[in-house]
Chain A
Amino acid sequence: MKIINMPSFGADMAKGEVAHWNVKAGDTVKKGDIIASIETMKGLIDMEVFDDGTIEKLLVDEGIELSVGQPIAEFRLANEPSLDNTAQAAVSHAPEKQQPEKKQPETETSERPEFAAQPVIKIPIIQKSETFSGEANTAKISPAARQKAKELGIDWRLITHGQGPDGAIVLADIERTASAEPNKHGINDPMRQAIAAVVSRSKQQIPHYYLQLDMVVDGAQHWLTKHNQSLPSEQRILLNAIIYTAIAHALKSFPEFNGFYLDGKFAAAESVHLGNVINLRQGGLVVAAIHNAESLGCEQMMIKLKDQVIRAREGGLRMSEMQDATVTVSNLGERGCDTIQSIIFSPQVAIIGIGRQRTVPWVVDSNVTSASIVSITLAADHRVSDGHSGARLLNKINQLLQKPERLICTRNHSKNRSAN
């Protein structure tokens, strides 16, 4: 026995209705006979029966709307034995049953040979660009994120890995950074957090001792004036450069102030990567390393300092500059403090503070006169050095400061340290 379903007459026919049955239960029909009129959205269409047989039972009344495929009648094929209580499973017409589609190897061999034999070549419609190799360390940032970062005064380069493809920085990264620590002044939060972490650790773990030496800079200043006279403004050296150079050179002889204290041990660094504290306009600071500072002369130091400050303020410091400092110099001179007692940046073991240049009464050969001085302070890790070495270091710096001419093109005067 087979089921006759609501037929589909077209691809856009979803429903139909038996408007009128032409047969009733028990009627014998022949293939092609019209057994019903089906109402569709286009109008009435005759429904034929495709086999000879008998209508066993009508399953729906006229006028009921059904979906295509729903049963509407039971039908016994002419060559079927009469219906008894056992269900008739075998039906001669294969298409009436819902046969699962299976792949048959025999079927495939009857296809054209070229379909089977040709290797499949797929044409890529879009050719992907070769992997874009931009400049090394150029982070990717979306235009929206870049804009937001600018609005909020956030240096997006401090975000090492964004959520976008290949770590590209997207808007969400900027928003997350901004909301981490809401601050009305727009201070750079990850930076503030980083500084906080470092100085807290330093203050807690490092036994600081502090030394100060006031150094007369008249001589250096005098030399400087003469040196700068004949030079165009962009080549002129500032006193700071001389002081930094002196510090760097002095440190060569005092390895206990230049290196890292880690895991209970101190390891002296091979070179002096002088960390220069740069204050940022929007608040916060960054320590930028001047690599191999001990091999630089004043003019080179001057160039590096200038360049570094510009780049730091534009967010253009390199990773190595931000990571490699072996000792730090802190300089608040122009802001008008006489001395600075700094906190060491762990895991470094020393930090040198430079006060402002000021004129004070000074005793020379029992006579009171005036002198231009700079107070240089040393904060150092007492686990690694003691006051005695610290004092010697400061005195060495002072010594070098009094002979600035020796700090020019210093490779010629190096004390056999390997120039890098």
Chain B
Amino acid sequence: MIIDNTKPHIDKAHLHQLLKQMLRIRRFEEKCAQLYTQEKIRGFLHLYIGEEAIAVGVMKSLTKDDAVLATFREHGHALARGLEMNKVMAEMYGKVTGSSRGRGGSMHIFDSDLRFYGGNAIVAGALPLAVGLALADKMQNKQNVTVCFFGEGAVAEGEFHESLNLAKLWQLPILFVCENNGYAMGTALEISESEQHIYKKAQSYGLDVRQVNGMNVVDVESVAKHYCDAIRQGAGPCLLECTTYRFRGHSMFDTQLYRSADDVKKWKDKGPIVKLKNWLQANNELSPHELQQIESDVAKEVDSAVAFAEQSAFEDESDLCLGVYTEGKI
């Protein structure tokens, strides 16, 4: 892993922060896996394990006024954006204290105060929303960036193409972040796209594009910052293609027949946390004690979130119909 020391903010404290953010996501996801096997979390569970660098890296460049959209694999994005782990865990459990009152579950985490707009379960379904949010910001002369995370599977959907076209046509302040982990559920990119370079598709719509190693959190952060600055200054929409890999199946109920265990192992060895940890340790920037402290803090936070979720109540059934329309305000 090469870290360009000419880039700003690369100091020990910052790197520790990046590591901790990634570990928060990693341990949260692992705990969710465990809880899911115990049927505490139900429905579908899509884990972000292996991809943490992207959410963490990109979120660093955002202000509280920027808008964020993600997919059903959004727990990491939610945590990186600043949602309380308690709330996210409670949402996984379906409790009323969850970020969506438990109504959405794993795939529908929202927080309007933090401008975190999901949590979208339809592949590519959030891209037009991103167009709209960015359009609204532009019309109101705001300097916000709208960041839209999606997997490479979304590029097969019409909504991807429509949205990129609209974004460039209307010169909208959107950062499209494609998390290319090579598989749309069980379908490899090689067998679903005639043009496998995602950034080229975006290029054909006129967007500014970059490809980056999604396992390198520092690189991701650096490029994202560059783009966000540019977008705020009116550069128009950009697409960042991050090459990454998910170490788990698409969802929990995935036999992973479509890829080899060796392949998974190869990627695990160059995973984002391993990479950063190894570099820090090699450069004496992370002592065992410091690592232990970080892991211990994270473990405490995760355990506390689980306890919070366990103890929380479910939404009253009598409130079921509230919030369909505004009149039935919750």
Contacts and interface: CB of A to CB of B under 8 A. Distances in A.
Query: Do A and B touch directly, given a CB cutoff of 8 Å in the complex?
Result: yes
Given A50-B30, A111-B97, A115-B101, A99 B38 contact: no
Contacts of A130: none
A118 B329 contact: yes
B107 to A, nearest CB: 12
A93 B257 CA distance: 33
Contacts of B313: 101-104, 107-108
B312 A121 contact: no
Contacts of A125: 321
Interface in A90-149: 93-96, 99, 101-104, 107-108, 110-111, 114-115, 118, 120-123, 125
Interface residues of B, number: 42
B143 interface: no
B170 interface: no
Interface string A160-204: 000000000000000000000000000000000000000000000
B35 A122 contact: no
Given A45-B255, A121-B328, A107 B312 contact: yes
A44 B308 CA distance: 34
A375 B184 CA distance: 106
A110 B311 CA distance: 13
A255 interface: no
A300 to B, nearest CB: 61
Contacts of A102: 311, 313
Contacts of A50: 30-31, 33-34
Interface size of A as a range: 35 or more
A158 B23 CA distance: 82
Contact of B311 (A10, A32, A96, A101): A101
A105 to B, nearest CB: 11
B254 A45 contact: yes
A5 interface: yes
A12 B39 CA distance: 11
A111 B315 CA distance: 12
Contacts of A108: 97, 313
A123 B327 contact: yes
B198 to A, nearest CB: 29
A69 interface: yes
Nearest to B314: A101
Contacts of A48: 33
A43 interface: yes
B12 to A, nearest CB: 28
Contacts of A11: 42-44, 253
List the 5 shortest-distance A-B pairs measured between CB atoms, nearest first.
Answer: A10-B253, A7-B37, A43-B255, A50-B34, A123-B328
